Structure 1
């Protein structure tokens, strides 16, 4: 049977351990009145292509997702489906002083899947567990939201097989869920017209619809809809935080725990004012600028014209890390009713346990686009103009006292004068990592950690010459089936990374305002230690203060 022409879709895989049986497991599942046909393998079955919403094409382009109708007939779910339209990102040109590994890493993280792209893009779910699992087994669920600056990425980037196989081996089986959602101008268009129409942050609405799908159907695959943990990295971590803030913190029973990596409740500006120039550029380049209803015009233009107009806009690897009009979620007044930091302060956040971690050198990736800056005066002008335009110059001078030009104090940290690609590269990297990741992380921990139960970690592993333990480097670690994977699996099962029973793993203390314990991941003979999360404390406190003032 042909694949259903549908919007976000799902794939499911069921592990059947070879030591239990050598026979191929059943490759079908019943949903409503439909038979879904998957791909049988020796150890598991994979199902692709279970739609959860109507295709957002035609009049449904740039609209809130509509749930899919009940399933009927046969769904041929035997191959990966399309991915959402990607915003193509060209890595910046690097100077000869940059280590070759930097260019290799940039190329890797900006290379998207070769799978066909379409507005009719897909959600993917995997369910890996021992043979014979069935409805009523009530396995917990980890729902993954991928990163990519809300510009590119898909659920095809990091398959969850290692995570689920590991969960079986440690006898804490879980279901792994991975969703696609609309990206860039299709999912995160901003501006006055978008806000007035109530169609901002559509990618977040897609994520929410996927979570509703899990509630409705995951029991059919042996899952428990009351035991869902949402999990994401970078923009996906921010997506997790926004799901926690939606509906003034009412989770609607869609999840009971949250795990965020290198992304949370960022400090952002005005949805209409800040994003209007990008909207105006897109409508100009699609021929919609003179139309009375510009959104209606955007819904009718040829998709390739719209894709090209979006691709010509700024991205998160542009000169400024906040130049992207898609990367940082702003309050649209509907899904995100107020700026994220204000919602946190008012307690309008889902009261669930959470884990929130980061890497040692979060800012290096975002600083390779500003390698044309070579003096401290240029660095001050860059930070003042791009981040803190409302802040008096005296405060900027104070900030630079805490983030000095001395390469030995910059990021990659603890590398002395090595990797000084430019005289101010390591200085800007230290600041941007704290601005984009560590300041929001500590802000959320300080305001909600003790109230909800929280754990934090710092990864110093998988260092790249010139970038250090950079943004995204923890992803292969947690997907690799090792120690961090085990902490995740235990958290999904028990809402505690240490598990409900005694574990031989190092104990990971909860975060408290007085102890501020952090699990640190290291390379070498000693791989895990618990340390105080107090690094650059004065500097990060000032970054938080200035971010509040800038976005007041």
Structure 2
């Protein structure tokens, strides 16, 4: 279904608006997936992608009514803000395994050039961060309409993967932590915080788009109107990664289009807002995989490959910074299959810089400013798959998704082991998630249709303590074992390094 009007023509780069109501008595069939939003680097027209893409999918028990008031699981997909890469994940299995006691929602939002074009010219004649505004529109749509599908609008748990997890973080701090009562709990897989520049720092991106579309030939005040007049194919041809200023290729940055600090939705850097306690305090589940960087890192033959990769992906880093990075990340041994000798180092450094340490540092701020009623649960996913190990990937980014939604439901991204020796991991992880959606605690319910007490097959997931002492997280292992572990001191030290490095670069801006 549509949750917002098609963002076409005059609605390009504007905040989403309500869709036009269909005529009473008109039946719209919602039996096939509509297009996802246009991602970077694909030609237009693109198979399965389109500019008209603001659609929502819902899975609910067949017998649910407006009086059912079932907890709602609202999923924000990832894709690095450059693509809808987790689109249309099937919520049927989790609804069934919950005993038909929840409603699941997922949706598309604008990405790349279409969602995150930034400039003071965009602010003057449009809106910044429209991809995030799409997400917020969806959450408001859920609050207004989910009862018609059996959902409880006062019990929505928002869940994000990768950039979707980063988006969850941004909705926690949106408008300086203003609580619009859009959700009561949050779950994040691999929270992703890329560089988050101000709009003023992204004028070069707008200038490039204007030049590549011929809109640099009109006055600056008319350039947005010019862009809105262009055919989608012309704009999509400019929707690709390019070197940051002062950098050369290869490699190109992995995440060229990102949210920006706009002074409104994001009044400051998310890190600073979390540090100041300007966030909505709700129960949360946060987790990462052991080898977050393995699918992103360069196949580095030596330290210089790592330095170049970091410089090209983080525009404010200096050569002195990359020297410091390599001092904290000496060569990791043993080497990994199908990779050069310094790949393990590149993988670990990028995984911690981009996913693991943002979570670590955000957790510290969440605990510092939260009350004792705010339950925080964190995990490390360490489930090995023979194919991943043979490819030298370890436990890669979002490998936990197949266990959370079920391996048949995420578009073929699951490892083969989920149907054999890792099959027990699925009810374990799915049980924790369903329990949290239902009761804001992963330990409350088993997987029996009637609900009930905690299942004996699932170990108690202890709360994380960020105020000194043991910061315990659940570690999920191959075959479905799960235990609690402390955060290693060396990991905490490296996360402190990344935090200090980021602060130093921000202070220089």
Confirm or deny a common fold (TM above 0.5): yes
User: What pairs with 1:6-45 in structure 2 (closer than 5 Å)?
Assistant: none
Cα distance in 2, alignment partners of residues 446 and 192 from structure 1: 34
Partner of 2:11: 60
The structure-2 alpha-carbon separation of the partners of 1:360 and 1:508, relative to structure 1 and needing over 3 Å to count, comes to: same
Give the C-alpha shift of residue 312 in structure 1: 6.1
1:192-230 deviation line (CA, Å, top 9, x unaligned): 423454611111101111111111111111110000011
1:296-352 CA distance string (max 9 Å, x none): 11111011111111136469xx956855222x4331222212111111112111111
Cα gap change, 1:549 to 1:197, in 2 (>3 Å): farther
- The residue aligned with 1:310 is 239
- Which residue, 416, 420, 438 being the options, matches 1:493? 438
* 1:314–1:323 CA contact under 8 A, matched in 2: no
Q: How big is the alpha-carbon RMSD for the aligned residues of Structure 1 and Structure 2?
A: 2.6
Separation in 1, partners of 2:252, 2:70: 40
Maintained 8 Å contact 2:159/2:168: yes
Mapped partners of 2:283, 2:149: distance in 1 = 25
Extract unaligned runs of 5+ from structure 1.
Answer: 1-49, 91-113, 409-415
Alignment pair present for 1:160 and 2:115: no
The TM-score, its normalising length taken from structure 1, stands at: 0.78
1:502-521 map, 5 Å: 502-504=454-456, 505-513=458-466, 514-521=469-476
**Is 2:318 the counterpart of 1:357?**
no
Q: Is the Cα contact below 8 Å between 2:275 and 2:365 reproduced in 1?
A: yes
Higher mean C-alpha displacement, 444-453 vs 468-477: 444-453
Pick from 318, 327, 330: which aligns with 1:404? 330
Instruction: Give 1:421's aligned residue.
Output: 339
For 2:233 and 2:207, locate their aligned partners in 1 and report how far apart those are by CA, in whole Å.
18
Give the TM-score normalised by structure 2. 0.84
Cα displacement (A) at 1:77: 2.2
Answer with 186-195 or 515-524: which moved more: 186-195
Q: Which runs of 5+ in 2 are unaligned?
A: 407-425, 446-452
Residue 195 (structure 2) pairs with residue 268 (structure 1): yes
Please name the residue that 1:550 is paired with: 505
- 1:206 is matched with 134
The separation in 1 between residues aligned to 2:443 and 2:114, in whole angstroms, is 40
Does the residue aligned with 1:468 lie in a helix, a strand or coil?
Answer: coil
Equivalent residue for 1:16? none
- In the other structure, the counterpart of 2:405 is 479
1:325 and 1:392 mapped to 2: Cα distance? 20
Counterpart-to-counterpart distance in 1, 2:175 and 2:167: 14
Find the aligned partners of 1:496 and 1:281 in 2 and give their Cα distance. Answer: 48
Tell which deviates more after alignment, 62-71 or 172-181.
Answer: 62-71
- Residue 530 in structure 1 maps to residue 457 in structure 2: no
Q: State the partner residue of 1:249.
A: 177
The answer as to whether partners of 1:362 and 1:470 remain within 8 angstroms in 2 is yes
Deviation of 1:62 after TM superposition, in Å, equals 1.1
Aligned to 1:301: 230
The CA deviation at 1:545 is 1.0
Asked if 1:151 is matched to 2:82, the reply is yes
Aligned counterparts of 1:234 and 1:358: Cα–Cα separation in 2? 9
Question: Could you tell me how far apart the structure 1 residues matched to 2:259 and 2:347 are?
Answer: 22
- Residue aligned with 1:458, SS: strand
Change (3 A) 1:137 1:386: closer
Secondary structure of the equivalent of 2:478? coil
| Match of residue 340 from structure 1 | 270
Q: Deviations over 1:420-452 (max 9, x none)?
A: 722322111111001101111011110113613
Q: CA deviation at 1:384?
A: 5.2
Question: What does residue 220 of structure 1 align with?
Answer: 148
1:141, 1:223 within 8 Å by CA — same for their partners in 2? yes
The answer to whether the 8 A contact 2:307-2:319 is kept is: no
- Retained in 2: the 8 A contact 1:232–1:261? yes
Contact 1:201–1:329 (Cα < 8 Å) also in 2? yes
Query: 2:501, 2:123 → 1: CA distance?
Result: 27
**What does residue 445 of structure 1 align with?**
363
C-alpha change, 1:287 and 1:182, in structure 2 (3 Å) is: same
Q: Between 483-492 and 120-129, report the one with greater CA deviation.
A: 120-129
Q: Is the 8 A contact 1:267 1:548 kept in 2?
A: no
Question: Following TM superposition, by how much is the alpha carbon of 1:117 offset from its aligned partner in structure 2, in angstroms?
Answer: 2.3
1:379 paired with 2:334, answer no
CA distance in 2, matches of 1:246, 1:263: 16
Q: Does residue 1:461 correspond to 2:387, yes or no? A: no
The whole-number CA distance in structure 2 between the counterparts of 1:542 and 1:453 is 27
Contact 1:275 1:325 in 2 (8 A): no
TM-aligned CA deviation for residue 396 of structure 1: 4.6
3-state SS of 2:71 partner: strand
Are 1:138 and 1:222, in contact at CA under 8 Å, matched by a contact in 2? yes
Name the SS of the counterpart of 1:311 in structure 2: coil
Partner of 2:411: none
TM-superposed deviation, 1:459:
0.8
Distance 1:363 1:447 in 2: 24
* Structure 1 residue 272, shift from structure 2 partner: 2.7
Residues 313 and 396 (structure 1), Cα distance of their counterparts in 2 relative to 1, 3 Å cut? closer
Which string of whole-angstrom CA distances, capped at 9 and with x for unpartnered residues, describes residues 515-539 of structure 1? Answer: 2111111114x62111112252222
Contact 2:251–2:312 (Cα < 8 Å) also in 1: no
Query: How many residues were matched structurally?
Result: 460
Q: Is the 8 A contact 1:154 1:180 kept in 2?
A: no
Q: 1:287 aligns with which of 209, 214, 217?
A: 214
CA distance in 2, matches of 1:422, 1:389: 27
Instruction: Give the distance between the partners of 1:116 and 1:307, measured in 2 at CA.
Output: 15
> Could you tell me how far 1:377 is from its partner in structure 2?
3.9
